[in-house]
Amino acid sequence: MEGKVINSSKTDTAVLDNMLIVSSSPHIRSNESVKRIMLDVVIALIPAIIGSVYFFGINALKLILISIASSIFFEATIQKLFKKEITINDYSAVITGILIAFNLPANAPWWIPVIGSAFGIIVVKQFFGGLGSNFMNPALASRAMLLASWPTIMSSFVSPGPDAVTAATPLSIMKYGMADAGASATVAEAGASLPAVKDMFIGNIGGALGETSALLLLIGAAYLIIRKVISWKTPFAYLATTFVMLLVLGVETEHLMYHMLGGGLILGAFYMATDYSSSPVTPMGQLIFGIGAGVLTALIRIKGGFPEGVSYSILLMNVATPLIEKFTSPKVFGEVK
């Protein structure tokens, strides 16, 4: 009996000693993990995945699956070659694959997502240290590379439905077809008409796979905000600034909703501008990031020669992220200059 008391006393002492251990900050405790966060993003993207297959058919599903498989393959291969821990089970490569596919036309050939995944995973992500070290969003960098390399393929969109005929996007119609159609406007764009705003909101329009349905993207975005996976600051600052800048630049009020619902603005604001690795972590920095991306998007669309500006705007702000964080980081308590 006495021995049991002694053992109990030793156990209590050990527990007390562990409680009194002092370690360096931070002391934040959380049940969140990289895998759990990434899984939440995958769940949020499922409605848009289903929508893309519904609107654009089986080829959309094929491109998404090829893009995901390619991203996982290249991630595992390069990590094995670099003799690093293989982390394909954290779902980050899956998300990159989905987002790369979401930036492709539904009629893109199968090898386009393969090349895009190779560039995004190997060059943009792994060459710079892997997850958490990439300085720009891999999916957007892949889109920019593919657009520069195969502009005809990346700019040829089809309308939803079984016919899948080539169709101009609403932004292309406004830039080329409803004003003075210049040399860059195609015959289809010059004679096209704008779809109903309702169709844009639902997703029944031509465009990249994952950017057409604002409704399905917003459902996923609401899930991410409720789950506190992303902050509202960057996307709302982005959308609000784009809206204001479009007004300042003279966009007619009846065309504002086409700009807000089209061209990947919703997809970029909620799913790409909020990338942990390539966007600011400070609250003020997130607002500045969103404002900067909004200004650039509106300027590229209205004053530039390209009807879309989301990709390049976010990429430019990705590059500016270290500078933003430098000037918005809070001072360390007790710090002396």
Q: Is the pLDDT of residue 19 over 80?
A: no
The CATH number of domain 34-328 is 1.10.3430: yes
Count CA within 13 A, CB hemisphere, residue 76.
11
Q: How much of the chain exceeds pLDDT 70, in percent?
A: 82
Mean residue pLDDT across the chain: 84
- Residue of 167 and 46 predicted with greater confidence: 46
Cβ-in-10-Å burial (0-12, 13-18, 19+) of 316 comes to middle
Q: Which of 269, 284, 219, 271 is nearest to 50 (CA)?
A: 219
Q: Which of 221, 329, 241 is nearest to 281 (CA)?
A: 329
pLDDT tier for residue 306 given thresholds of 50, 70 and 90: confident
Domain-by-domain residue ranges, the chain? 34-328
Whole-prediction pTM: 0.83
